Amino acid sequence: MKHINVFIILFLLTATSLHSQQADGYKLWLKYDKIENTELRNDYAEIVSSVYFKEDSDILKNAKKEFSLALPQMLNTPVQYSNDVSSDNSLIVDIYQNLPKDLKDLIHNDIEVLSDEGFLIKSLTYKKKSITLISAKKDIGILYASFRFLHLMQTHKKLKYIDLVDSPKIDLRMLNHWDNLDRSVERGYAGFSLWNWQKLPEYIDQRYIDYARANTSIGINSTVITNVNANALVLTPMYLEKVEALADVFRGYGIKVYLTARFSAPIEIGKLKTADPLNPEVQKWWSDKVAEIYKRIPDFGGFLVKANSEGQPGPQNYGRNHVDGANMMATALEPFGGNVIWRAFVYSEHDDTDRAKQAYDEFLPYDGKFKDNVLVQVKNGAIDFQPREPFHPMFGAMKKTPLVMEFQITQEYLGFSSHLVFLPKLFEEVLSTDTYQKGKGATVAKVIDGSLHGNAITGIAGVANIGTDLNWTGHPFAQANWYGFGRMAWDPYLSSEKIADEWLRATYSNKQDFIEPVKKLMLTSRETVVNYMNPLGLHHIFDTGHHYGPGPWVDNLSRPDWNPVYYHKADANGIGFDRTPSGSNATEQYAPYLEKTFNDINTIPEEYLLWFHHVSWDYKLQNGNTLWDGIALKYQEGVNEVNTMIHTWDDVKPYVTESEYNEVKMLLQIQLKEAKWWRDACLLYFQTFSQKELPEGVEKPTQSLEYYKSLKFPFAPGIRPQWD
């Protein structure tokens, strides 16, 4: 018996120690590992040797909870809290209003420039002693500051003479979950939806709290918890009670809940005969519905609406327009301070002009007609979250309407959750692009943060890549995309390089020998995926519906603009979509300088070549290669780069745990296999038009075109039935 007990204990001990070594990724960038460098640890320990931390609200309690979780782990010693702000504290954490007058005087000027969500972390001499002060105008600022302070420690930054004054540059920093009520996630590649509707409202999954912590730690302050392809049921009392339970959790982290509103809800759940936005009964229905929601959720954010797009109902079903629809909802939300976020992702099967032109054409005439609490949400490019797109021409052009940037964090067109692609590089490219709408320097970031046109409210949204997978995002490096989106939503001028650095330190290791090569790998990964999927401006050549893998040959979908052949237009002469005046003239939607640059094949940046021009196979690229050779070599380059990624990962093996090493290694193998698949399938297919040999340096395909065409994936993840 005794032996058996010893055996069980030994077994349990081994199992626990193995488990603690097992990096499951659940903690994301909030790992708070012990700081091994003693000098640094002692420095930090001195700073937090006596902490005054006022906690008289849920938000402040959560901030202090984070301190109490993180500090003992990182510093290996418990935190000493003091109850008296006037005693000898090494660190004081409190909002400005509560501070003693002499301390207030020291930071008065900094506080003045802060927004309500901003904060400061400052080393000061107070009562002849060095102290650190964390302060803000509001509790939420203290929460953001606490996470930042802990992050600086995790990433081994010097804190002794810190002088950090920071405010977010964008008001609404939102995640959009394309989560359905059955817990499937449209374009989700990381398991099921986090929201357990069946067990809500009573059962509060720890995941909801950890989700909120993660978001707040990077500055996200709003979440749309339901799919843009909306289900009206979420607006019924049964579901609203559940939404309320989630909102109650998120409130303590400064996160507001939004819902998607199905335009036909008054008919579907309200028993009305119409959803016409000019009908008084319909208007009353929405006003009552909104009041009902605010009764439960006093800080409800508002509605996100996809209307008259891809079959969703909308005002046009009643002969009305987007302004009528958006303003009707905005009127209902206005008394409560709620917003309508109206999506501009529209293109019609009845419109045979270039799909890329349609949103601009439809929305520009409405500029200045929306109510003040309406924001129009625009995807980063005019087609659909491709590996590379020129920025959407609405940015900069729509001057009186606040535009929300919509990025896609989930990798619908970038290899799902099996490809390592660091998206902040893409976000940075878009945000830093000059729209030339008000002379030089009118970047997309300035449109989004409202500084270009002076918008009263600003926003940015990311389509979430989060699900029930243990590590939240499927690929461990996809966590960096969630992280990076949040950081850029806070500050759209941050560099992707800084973000990669921060994330790697907090998630994996602070060792420079690890960080440098892996950072390089991350920063080049976006160009790599462009190379092996959509080089030189090719786009939307993904297989039907699920968008898994290549399908440039697909030509049988019901709508022309759903077919890849519509986008690449390959023929015996060449390839590419002519969007110059000899073609669709989509270039006219850009500012004159860009219009001219894009129209001229000699000045167009080569990465957009086939986006805007139909180009002969023999056209000479800048490096002297013919277009055909250039395309083929780009595909090959993409494959080679994935090989390089694998080598880099092998080299840094000593810096990560066995399981961390293995999981990324296996995923990179999938990425390599699929990069080859993209190269071979696309080149074989385009070769049927070019009729040219593959240039030297490009590996020969191992299968026939017929083989690639025959591949079918009826159970590819992320698809919803109506897309089949």
Has 680 been annotated as catalytic? no
- State the residue number with the nearest CB to ligand BDP: 384
Closest approach of ligand BDP to the CB of residue 341, in Å: 13
Burial (CB count within 10 angstroms: exposed 0-12, middle 13-18, buried 19+), residue 245: buried
CA 451 vs. chain centroid, Å, equals 22
Catalytic residue among 310, 351, 367, 434: 310
Nearer to ligand BDP, 321 or 410 (CB): 410
Nearer to ligand BDP, 370 or 407 (CB): 407
Nearer to ligand BDP, 430 or 698 (CB): 430
d(CA 540, CA 562): 9
CA 271 vs. chain centroid, Å, equals 37
Nearer to ligand BDP, 186 or 578 (CB): 186
- Within a 13 Å sphere around the CA of 66, how many CA atoms are in the beta-carbon half? 27
Which has the closest alpha carbon to 222: 367, 425, 377? Answer: 377
d(CA 488, CA 668): 26
Amino acid occupying residue 423:
L
Amino acid occupying residue 125:
T
228 touches ligand BDP by CB under 6 A: yes
Closest approach of ligand BDP to the CB of residue 266, in Å: 22
Helix axes 479-490, 496-507, angle to 10 degrees: 130
Neighbours of 101 (CB within 10 A): 6
User: Cβ distance 540 to 414 under 8 Å?
Assistant: no
Nearer to ligand BDP, 179 or 412 (CB): 412
Quote the tokens at residue 563: 């077919």
Catalytic residue among 55, 110, 179, 412: 412
Nearer to ligand BDP, 144 or 548 (CB): 548
Closest approach of ligand BDP to the CB of residue 718, in Å: 8
- Ranges of beta strands (E only) in 182-338 are 222-224, 256-260, 302-305
548 touches ligand BDP by CB under 6 A: no
Nearer to ligand BDP, 311 or 441 (CB): 311
Closest approach of ligand BDP to the CB of residue 413, in Å: 8
Helix (H) / strand (E) element for 461: namely strand 459-463
d(CA 178, CA 405): 16
Closest approach of ligand BDP to the CB of residue 178, in Å: 7
User: Scanning residues 313 to 372, which ones bind ligand BDP (CB under 6 A)?
Assistant: 345
Quote the tokens at residue 101: 């007058």
Closest approach of ligand BDP to the CB of residue 230, in Å: 10
Helix (H) / strand (E) element for 531: namely helix 512-533
Closest approach of ligand BDP to the CB of residue 176, in Å: 9
DSSP 654: G
Nearer to ligand BDP, 186 or 334 (CB): 186
Helix axes 496-507, 424-431, angle to 10 degrees: 160
Helix axes 322-333, 280-296, angle to 10 degrees: 40
660 touches ligand BDP by CB under 6 A: no
* Residue from 149, 385, 514, 611 in contact with ligand BDP (CB under 6 A): 385
User: Cβ distance 559 to 410 under 8 Å?
Assistant: no
Nearer to ligand BDP, 221 or 408 (CB): 408
Closest approach of ligand BDP to the CB of residue 310, in Å: 6
d(CA 371, CA 669): 51
- Within a 13 Å sphere around the CA of 577, how many CA atoms are in the beta-carbon half? 26
User: Cβ distance 578 to 614 under 8 Å?
Assistant: yes
d(CA 171, CA 460): 8
Altogether, the residues listed in the chain come to a count of 724
* Residue from 137, 148, 306, 320 in contact with ligand BDP (CB under 6 A): 306
DSSP letters, 48-64, are TSSEEE---SHHHHHHH
Asked whether the CA dihedral 677, 701, 683, 687 is positive or negative, the reply is negative
* Residue from 193, 221, 229, 479 in contact with ligand BDP (CB under 6 A): 229
Nearer to ligand BDP, 242 or 357 (CB): 357
187 touches ligand BDP by CB under 6 A: yes
Quote the tokens at residue 718: 């992320």
Closest approach of ligand BDP to the CB of residue 228, in Å: 5
Amino acid occupying residue 609:
L
User: Cβ distance 391 to 380 under 8 Å?
Assistant: yes
Nearer to ligand BDP, 308 or 443 (CB): 308
Burial (CB count within 10 angstroms: exposed 0-12, middle 13-18, buried 19+), residue 105: exposed
The site string for ligand BDP over 139-178 (x = CB under 6 A, - otherwise) reads ----------------------------------------
SS3 39: helix
The site string for ligand BDP over 550-589 (x = CB under 6 A, - otherwise) reads ----------------------------------------
Nearer to ligand BDP, 75 or 307 (CB): 307
Has 310 been annotated as catalytic? yes
d(CA 222, CA 343): 16
d(CA 675, CA 671): 6
Closest approach of ligand BDP to the CB of residue 387, in Å: 13
Which has the closest alpha carbon to 405: 372, 387, 432? Answer: 432
CA distances from 253 to 146, 588, 695 (A): 12, 45, 56
SS3 content of the chain, % helix, strand, coil (to 5): 45, 10, 45
Q: What angle do CA 203, 207, 209 make, to 5 degrees?
A: 90
Closest approach of ligand BDP to the CB of residue 389, in Å: 12
Q: Which residue has the tokens 């699900």?
A: 467
Under rule CB under 6 A, how many of the chain's residues touch ligand BDP?
A: 10
Closest approach of ligand BDP to the CB of residue 488, in Å: 20
541 touches ligand BDP by CB under 6 A: no
* Residue from 384, 389, 428, 578 in contact with ligand BDP (CB under 6 A): 384
User: Cβ distance 543 to 554 under 8 Å?
Assistant: yes
Nearer to ligand BDP, 184 or 216 (CB): 184
User: Scanning residues 412 to 471, which ones bind ligand BDP (CB under 6 A)?
Assistant: 412
Closest approach of ligand BDP to the CB of residue 219, in Å: 24
Region for residue 707 given its phi and psi (left: phi exceeds 0; alpha: psi -120 to 50; beta: otherwise): alpha
Catalytic residue among 384, 469, 629, 660: 384
* Residue from 171, 186, 469, 543 in contact with ligand BDP (CB under 6 A): 186
Give me the residues that bind ligand BDP (CB under 6 A), please. Answer: 186-187, 228-229, 306, 310, 345, 384-385, 412
Q: State the catalytic residues.
A: 310, 384, 412
